Chain A
């Protein structure tokens, strides 16, 4: 098996790519996708640490990830509903065009 740092590096890269997608793309859905990628990177981190860490029989990491997936799914649903509502109101999904709440 590959050593732990490999998995961690992979997770870090995935995280960075997801962050880049969230920070640079105009479309709100892509931003959400980026967030999902980040979440997945974190999940990978958890599983890796679970596998390589002490006491893997407690299944802590696994359970955490299960719940994380559940939360992520709920969050994705709500977020997409928000984007749909946003689209209905502003007729656009570009994040840089929705700026009415400013000072």
Chain B
């Protein structure tokens, strides 16, 4: 399969070893699949070890690219190989190492490693521990493959693998029907997007003749003026819409919270959903103004839509899920208005603080003995201080707290670019609205969970079957005691992530636009000039105002008097009950889908069953009866005609023989007479002949 017909790569060792990065976790997954349920330590060790090696190699790759950019050399290196042959043409795959790949590699492997370590503590009581790590490694391998792919085909292959592992991990507790349904929903919804992606890929191949991104000038992204690139770009964007949960294919992401919390953190916050954004960033050269306009509008609408829904949710993970959808909308918005650097910056910062938030939520769930409804939590800052501190750091980052939080800088970049967008200013206002709501609902969540008095139910009978939240997952231990802080193996990743949530922001300030320069392949310079421009200062002030305003409103609604009882009506619901119900029911999107698309599909399936039963079966039966009839005819012919003829023939022979045998009457004298007569006749005949002659 790896028919390497290309000469060895030019440049550094890293491009040649690049393929090792996804292969190491793949090998860990392969070995892990063969392990039994008891060998937990080996499974975890394999996964973490391979991820650590992948991180080391990724860092090495990053350093190499950094070096190359710093020296002003060519930033991008690709290494292609032939894969399949169709007659004369070869299908080539390849890996590429450029700044975009380098940052993504480091992010994915680092966040992945931290989450793997966290999972050791979180899944410690689960009996399918080894299977979990096997799937996690497989996911990591696929995600790293998506990142380094130089061919749209290879990207698609790894993309599908990512979708598969997402399915496997969402439905990890497959005996829960809601989890199995959620996994199926995720897979099918993303499949719809992937169908469009595949069509776009095929169209691209037919136009460009190659699916390689960069191929010494011949790659499909290296063309200028590729015909029909808008259509192709929009189709590929559909794949991103499905994978990144944009409107209208977002419905699977909230349900995907059925999976274990580390899964939600890794896949549905930091990496897989970011793959859609990464895809758009990767095929950015194909996107013209029309495509980018579509991307921007989809992103902006999604951001606002999801933010409004998140305001009214009661499950701790669901709030974060809708928040993810909203932030992904922000990333798409950023890509559309500002380009690759803007979108990618927010992707990177979001990965860290969203993972932090999810892991923190996991810690909360773990500490509250598998409780997930925020109405039944409260005052946890007393019992879980470390979790509280890191969670607040993440919440501030997400809300965009001025200056110290990374989210502030990345969101500011997006808003800056949206403001400067020439096509329309609506996305800017939508983004502002969404940022405000983000701060608001995060404050609401933090107040519900960490402040006030504890509303945790002590009696298991009251816990079960109350409220509209998702049912709690199978409880392994039911300790009717106080909530407790999580073990150190879970806390240390939280702390590391919190540090990055703060520091990462400084990679993209206007004073030192390092990320933008890096992605464009040139060294960055530090200058306060751009920071102090009036335009920039004004926008920074505006976004700070929005963030602080959101936090303030949240405090005013919820923080002044935190809820006391579990069945207490939400503060917002008291003010606007109908709106709140609409938001709580997620705009009835699932119900609309069920009523329209799903029921149509079921009707279609029933029609097909009827068709199959009455039409195809009829034809098949007809053919079968025809065959049976022919065989009867055959038998009839064989028995009566063929055998008859043959039998008649034999009978004729027998009768002839019987008849002729009457000539023999057993008397010798007659035979003698015949001989004598015959001799006489013969001689007479001869005489006659001689006489005539």
Interface positions of A (Cβ within 8 A of B): 19, 22-23, 31, 95-96, 98-103
Chain B residues with Cβ below 8 Å from A102 are 661, 664-667
Q: Are A31 and B662 in contact (CB under 8 A)?
A: no
Question: Could you give 20 example pairs across A and B, Cβ below 8 Å?
Answer: A19-B676, A22-B669, A23-B669, A31-B668, A31-B669, A95-B668, A95-B669, A96-B667, A96-B669, A98-B668, A99-B667, A100-B666, A102-B661, A102-B664, A102-B665, A102-B666, A102-B667, A103-B661, A103-B663, A103-B664
**Alpha-carbon distance between A23 and B661 when the two chains are bound, in angstroms:** 22
A-B contacts besides A98-B668, A102-B666, A103-B663, 13 pairs, CB < 8 Å: A22-B672, A23-B672, A31-B668, A95-B667, A95-B669, A96-B669, A100-B666, A102-B661, A102-B664, A102-B667, A103-B660, A103-B661, A103-B664
Residue of B nearest to A19 (CB): B676
Chain A residues with Cβ below 8 Å from B478 are none
Q: Are B672 and A99 in contact (CB under 8 A)?
A: no
Give the number of residue pairs across the A-B interface with Cβ within 8 Å. 35
Chain B residues with Cβ below 8 Å from A101 are 664, 666
Chain A residues with Cβ below 8 Å from B673 are 23
Most chain A CB within 10 A, of B660, B663, B669, B673, is at B669
Does any Cβ of A come within 8 Å of B658's Cβ? Answer: yes
Contacting A at CB under 8 A, from B636-693, are: 658, 660-669, 672-673, 676
Chain A residues with Cβ below 8 Å from B669 are 22-23, 31, 95-96
Chain A residues with Cβ below 8 Å from B661 are 102-103
Q: Are A23 and B666 in contact (CB under 8 A)?
A: no
**Alpha-carbon distance between A101 and B663 when the two chains are bound, in angstroms:** 11
Chain A residues with Cβ below 8 Å from B676 are 19, 23
Chain A residues with Cβ below 8 Å from B664 are 101-103
Chain A residues with Cβ below 8 Å from B668 are 31, 95, 98
Chain B residues with Cβ below 8 Å from A22 are 669, 672
**Alpha-carbon distance between A103 and B664 when the two chains are bound, in angstroms:** 6
Interface positions of B (Cβ within 8 A of A): 658, 660-669, 672-673, 676
B656 to chain A, nearest CB (A): 12
Instruction: Given A103-B658, A103-B660, decide whether A98 and B666 contact each other with a Cβ distance below 8 A.
Output: yes
Residue of B nearest to A101 (CB): B666
**Alpha-carbon distance between A19 and B677 when the two chains are bound, in angstroms:** 11
Chain A residues with Cβ below 8 Å from B663 are 103
Most chain A CB within 10 A, of B658, B661, B665, B666, is at B666
**Alpha-carbon distance between A101 and B667 when the two chains are bound, in angstroms:** 8
Chain B residues with Cβ below 8 Å from A19 are 676
Most chain A CB within 10 A, of B658, B662, B664, B668, is at B668
Residue of B nearest to A100 (CB): B666
Chain B residues with Cβ below 8 Å from A31 are 668-669, 672
A80 to chain B, nearest CB (A): 15
A19 to chain B, nearest CB (A): 6
**Alpha-carbon distance between A31 and B669 when the two chains are bound, in angstroms:** 9
**Alpha-carbon distance between A31 and B672 when the two chains are bound, in angstroms:** 10
**Alpha-carbon distance between A89 and B478 when the two chains are bound, in angstroms:** 115
Residue of A nearest to B677 (CB): A23
Q: Are A103 and B667 in contact (CB under 8 A)?
A: no
**Alpha-carbon distance between A101 and B676 when the two chains are bound, in angstroms:** 21
**Alpha-carbon distance between A69 and B523 when the two chains are bound, in angstroms:** 139
B329 to chain A, nearest CB (A): 110
**Alpha-carbon distance between A23 and B662 when the two chains are bound, in angstroms:** 21
A20 to chain B, nearest CB (A): 10
A28 to chain B, nearest CB (A): 8
Chain B residues with Cβ below 8 Å from A99 are 665-667
**Alpha-carbon distance between A22 and B677 when the two chains are bound, in angstroms:** 13
Chain A residues with Cβ below 8 Å from B662 are 103
Chain B residues with Cβ below 8 Å from A96 are 667, 669
**Alpha-carbon distance between A96 and B664 when the two chains are bound, in angstroms:** 13
- 10 A-B pairs with the lowest CB-CB distances in the bound complex, closest first: A103-B661, A99-B666, A102-B666, A103-B664, A101-B666, A102-B665, A102-B664, A99-B667, A95-B669, A23-B673
A8 to chain B, nearest CB (A): 15
**Alpha-carbon distance between A59 and B254 when the two chains are bound, in angstroms:** 134
**Alpha-carbon distance between A19 and B673 when the two chains are bound, in angstroms:** 9
B671 to chain A, nearest CB (A): 10
**Alpha-carbon distance between A19 and B674 when the two chains are bound, in angstroms:** 12
Residue of B nearest to A24 (CB): B669
Chain A residues with Cβ below 8 Å from B658 are 103
B384 to chain A, nearest CB (A): 119
Chain B residues with Cβ below 8 Å from A103 are 658, 660-664
Chain A residues with Cβ below 8 Å from B667 are 95-96, 98-99, 102
**Alpha-carbon distance between A100 and B668 when the two chains are bound, in angstroms:** 11
Residue of A nearest to B660 (CB): A103
Residue of B nearest to A35 (CB): B672
Chain B residues with Cβ below 8 Å from A98 are 666-668
**Alpha-carbon distance between A8 and B385 when the two chains are bound, in angstroms:** 155
A51 to chain B, nearest CB (A): 24
Residue of A nearest to B658 (CB): A103
Chain B residues with Cβ below 8 Å from A95 are 667-669
